[in-house]
Chain A
Amino acid sequence: EVQLVESGGVVVQPGGSLRLSCVASGFTFHDYTMHWVRQAPGKSLEWVSLITRDGGRTFYADSVKGRFTLSRDNSKDSLYLQMNSLRTEDTALYYCVKDIRLGDRGLGVFDYWGQGTLVTVSS
Chain B
Amino acid sequence: DIQMTQSPSTLSASVGDRVTITCRASQSISSWLAWYQQKPGKAPKLLIYKASTLQSGVPSRFSGSGSGTEFILTISSLQPDDFATYYCQQYNSYSRTFGQGTKVEIK
**Do these two chains interact?**
yes
**Interface on A for B, CB 8 Å cutoff?**
44-47, 50, 59, 61-62, 95, 100, 107-111, 113-116
Task: Check if B65 is an interface residue, CB within 8 A of chain A.
Answer: no
Q: Chain B nearest CB: distance from A91 CB in Å?
A: 17
Task: Check if B81 is an interface residue, CB within 8 A of chain A.
Answer: no
Can you name 14 extra interface pairs (CB under 8 A) apart from A45-B44, A100-B49, A108-B32? Answer: A44-B98, A44-B100, A45-B87, A46-B98, A61-B95, A62-B1, A109-B89, A109-B91, A110-B34, A110-B44, A111-B46, A111-B55, A115-B43, A116-B43
Determine whether the beta carbon of B98 is less than 8 Å from that of A45.
yes
For the complex, what is the distance from the CA of A45 to the CA of B94, rounded to whole Å?
A: 15
Q: Chain A nearest CB: distance from B60 CB in Å?
A: 18
Q: Chain A nearest CB: distance from B102 CB in Å?
A: 10
**Interface on B for A, CB 8 Å cutoff?**
1, 32, 34, 36, 42-46, 49, 55, 87, 89, 91, 94-101
User: Which residues from chain A contact B94 at a C-beta distance below 8 Å?
Assistant: 50, 59, 108
Q: Which of A45, A59, A108, A115 contacts B91 (CB 8 A)?
A: A108
User: Which residues from chain A contact B96 at a C-beta distance below 8 Å?
Assistant: 47, 108
User: Which residues from chain A contact B32 at a C-beta distance below 8 Å?
Assistant: 108
Determine whether the beta carbon of B100 is less than 8 Å from that of A113.
no
Q: Which of A47, A100, A110 contacts B97 (CB 8 A)?
A: A47
For the complex, what is the distance from the CA of A114 to the CA of B42, rounded to whole Å?
A: 9
For the complex, what is the distance from the CA of A13 to the CA of B56, rounded to whole Å?
A: 42
For the complex, what is the distance from the CA of A62 to the CA of B95, rounded to whole Å?
A: 8
Determine whether the beta carbon of A109 is less than 8 Å from that of B98.
no
Q: List 9 contacting pairs A-B, 8 Å CB cutoff, sorted by A.
A: A45-B44, A108-B91, A109-B46, A109-B91, A110-B36, A110-B46, A111-B46, A114-B43, A116-B43
For the complex, what is the distance from the CA of A114 to the CA of B44, rounded to whole Å?
A: 9
For the complex, what is the distance from the CA of A54 to the CA of B71, rounded to whole Å?
A: 34
- By beta carbon, the residue of chain B nearest A35 is B96
Taking each of B1, B43, B101, which has the highest tally of chain A beta carbons within 10 Å of its own beta carbon? Answer: B43
Q: Chain A nearest CB: distance from B13 CB in Å?
A: 21
Determine whether the beta carbon of A47 is less than 8 Å from that of B95.
yes
